[in-house]
Amino acid sequence: MKPFDVRRIRIDFPILHRKVYGKPLVYLDNAATALKPQRVIEAMLRYYSAETSNVHRGIYFLSETATNAYEGARILVQRFLNASNPGEIIFVRSTTEAINLVAASYGRTFLRERDEIILSVIEHHSNIVPWQILCNQIGAVLRIIPVNENGEMMMEEYEKLLSGKTKLVSVAHVSNAIGSINPVRKIIASAHQMGAAVLIDGAQAAAHLPVDVQDLDCDFYAFSGHKVYGPTGIGVLYGKSGFLEKMPPYQGGGEMIRTVTFEKTTYNSLPLKFEAGTPAIAEAIGLGAAIEYVSEIGLESIEAHEQKLLAYATEKIMAVPGARIIGTAREKSAILSFVIEGVHPHDVATIVDKEGVAIRAGHHCAMPAMQRFDVPATARASFALYNITEEVDSFIDSLYKIRTIFN
């Protein structure tokens, strides 16, 4: 494990040096989006100030420079996920678009009426709605894995759901709402025994856990750049070459073609077949810089640091009168979802904000999860590699002020 110096790391994030309402910013909404290190900002600025041009299409210096940077980012992502080749890395706008791509292309091509798709009750809406749309279009059926009181998937029930009708399983690696780390390796293995394909929503995992797609043996894996310290507007879909080669394009236009006539169009090779139009060039370059940054620090070291913060914050919040944690799985990422008796989560977030503490409140785009735990919403603090225990203390102190106000 690489040495981890959080004080040194914090210097890399310029926004951490600002104040909110006259107080130092305590940013604990990392599950929604992570802050950006200076390296990412500079990489994007360099493209816009010194390398601006379109990629793939020009034979002049700037275009070749931009193309090398863009495709270099793809190779960095390939290594980050341990994909077998760069063609398995598709640049998209977000995890959401990646899932929609698979639902539209793979789903409409290979699924039929009465085929079954398995999700879990703690999925993000982005891993529910695309499958509902697909089911409405082709007559497929959703099956849902329940979770226990701790927020852990009930694997016995999952095994019962699997059958010859199961054609696809799509679950989160980590729950964005409650932080549960799901047993994706077992989920994938069991699904494959039934001949089903598996998509893993890695939006909450890629920045916090080492991910090896070949070791997991998932068929698809998706994550968003902005949650792994990169820019918004860029995401990644990993897909096994054997699947991607058989899938039709998700969108039509420039770059994804090989030849076009009014009689027939032939499509480009991977990954360009799924990247129609001018891509998010600066964003991809920024993502590459973010991947480099995270890789140099080391995900094992990041995970260990975040787990210490989670344990520290969990112990502290349990002492706050009326506080109750939602999601107490044995395997958790650095997400702390909670409610305070008699106080709406929106009021919690509003009051702590005045203390300079940024947390999230709401259903977290996971309404079925909220219904499972019989709460309308939760407050959520989520930690990242730059957070420190002093920030946790500031957060907890602000919760005690809430108790004073509402008592």
Query: Where does a domain end: 296, 318, 351?
Result: 296
What's the confidence (pLDDT) of residue 206? 98
Query: Any idea which residue has 């650095």 for tokens?
Result: 334
Is residue 36 situated within a structural domain? no
The predicted pLDDT at position 404 comes to 84
Q: Are residues 356 and 246 both part of a single domain?
A: no
First to last CA, the chain: 46
Q: At what angle do helices 299-317 and 281-297 cross, to 10 degrees?
A: 80
125 falls within a domain? yes
Q: Active-site positions?
A: 365
228 and 339 within one domain? no
pLDDT digits over 152-168, tens only? Answer: 999 999 999 999 999 99
Quick check: is 289 in a domain?
yes
Same domain, 208 and 114: yes
358 & 281 share domain: no
CA distances from 25 to 134, 216, 353 (A): 42, 38, 9
Interior/surface letters 221-230, b for 16+ CB within 10 angstroms, e for the rest: bbbbbbbbbb
Structural domain containing residue 55: 41-296
pLDDT one-digit tens code per residue, 362-406: 999 999 999 999 999 999 999 999 999 999 999 999 999 998 888
In a domain, 93, yes or no: yes
Model pLDDT for residues 136-153, shown as the tens digit of each residue: 999 999 999 999 999 999
Report the CATH number that the domain containing residue 322 is assigned in CATH: 3.90.1150.10
The angle that helices 345-353 and 389-406 make with each other, rounded to 10 degrees, is 120
Residue 102 lies in a domain: yes
Residue that has been written with the tokens 């070459």 in this structure: 241
Q: Please indicate, yes or no, whether the overall pTM of this predicted structure exceeds 0.85.
A: yes
Task: Give the type of residue at 361.
Answer: A
User: Is the domain of 264 the same as that of 387?
Assistant: no
Is residue 35 domain-resident? no
Domain count across the chain? 2
**Tens of pLDDT, residues 73-112:** 999 999 999 999 999 999 999 999 999 999 999 999 999 9
Is residue 1 in some structural domain?
no
Position 361 in a domain? yes
Residue 326 pLDDT > 90: yes
- 125, pLDDT greater than 90: yes
pLDDT score for 1:
80
Residue type, 9: I
Query: Domain check: are 242 and 390 in the same one?
Result: no
Q: What angle do CA 185, 231, 377 make, to 5 degrees?
A: 65
CATH code, 108: 3.40.640.10
Query: 313-351: b or e for each residue (b if 16 or more CB lie within 10 Å)?
Result: beebbeeeeebbbbbbbeebbbbbbbbbeebebebbbeb
Domain final residue pick, 272, 296, 320:
296
Q: Of 296, 317, 345, at which residue does a domain stop?
A: 296
pLDDT of residue 406: 82
- In this structure, the answer to whether residues 72 and 100 fall within a common structural domain is yes
The rounded percent of the chain whose pLDDT value lies above 70 is 100
Same domain, 98 and 130: yes
Asked if residue 407 has pLDDT above 80, the reply is no
Residues 282 and 309 in one domain: no
- Same-domain pairing of 196 and 345: no
Looking at the fold, whether 333 and 250 belong to one and the same domain comes out as no
Q: Can you give the pLDDT at residue 184?
A: 98
Pair (314, 347) in one structural domain: yes
What pLDDT score does 403 carry?
80
